[in-house]
Amino acid sequence: MLKISGATSITLNVNEEDREVIVRPSDTLLFTLRKGLGLTGAKPGCENGDCGSCTVLVDDWPIKSCLMLTVEAIGKRIVTVEGLKDAPIQRAFVERFGFQCGYCTSGFLMVCHALSKIHPDADDTVIQDWLQSNICRCTGYQEIEEAIKSILGEKI
Ligand code: FES
Ligand code: FES
pLDDT, one tens digit per residue, over 58-73 is 999 999 999 999 999 9
- Do residues 101 and 39 lie in contact, with contact meaning Cβ atoms separated by under 8 Å? no
Residue 44's identity, in one-letter code, is P
Closest CA to 126 of 115, 135, 136: 115
Between 96-100, 117-121, 126-130, 151-155, the lowest mean confidence (pLDDT) is in: 151-155
Question: What's this model's pTM, rounded to 2 decimal places?
Answer: 0.95
Terminal-residue alpha carbon distance, the chain: 32
Q: Is 102 in the pocket of ligand 2 (CB under 6 A)?
A: yes
Residue 116 Cβ contacting ligand 1 at under 6 Å = no
75: left (phi over 0), alpha (psi -120 to 50) or beta: left
